Structure 1
Amino acid sequence: MKRNLLFLLFSFVFFLQTNAQCAMCRAVLESEEGQVTAVGVNDGIMYLMAVPYILVAGIAFAIYWQFIRGKKTI
């Protein structure tokens, strides 16, 4: 149990120190004047991050709904 907790702690600490973009992408996005491309990249990251959460939430809601509906008919 201590080993799993220690692994989780180290994984979380090292996860916080990582960068989401490679050095080349970061340099190009920071050097642009209007920051239009940077806004587009950030919007794309948010879109790609949100879709799995929405899908999982929809599946969880469907399971929950079936569970509640099944309880009322018994």
Structure 2
Amino acid sequence: MNAAQAKAAQARLANQAEHYNAAQAKAAEKGPMYLITFWTNVCRKLAKDALESGDPSVANGLASHLNDFYRAHTQ
């Protein structure tokens, strides 16, 4: 990756971070359930993107975490 590509990639990441920070703040203003929904959607997108790229580790990790969370809160 040359310097121009690296700079463009860094700019894309900064734009994504600004978008997610703004969306998270907006969800937090609405209340905790909106914030939970926001992060659920982010996790789903990350898992979907990882699966589409052929890496099941993110989806498997998310499924494991959600299973642990469910068990901890239903017993």
* TM-score (norm: length of structure 2): 0.48
Higher relative contact order (CA 8 A, sep 6+): 2
Structure number with the higher helix fraction is 2
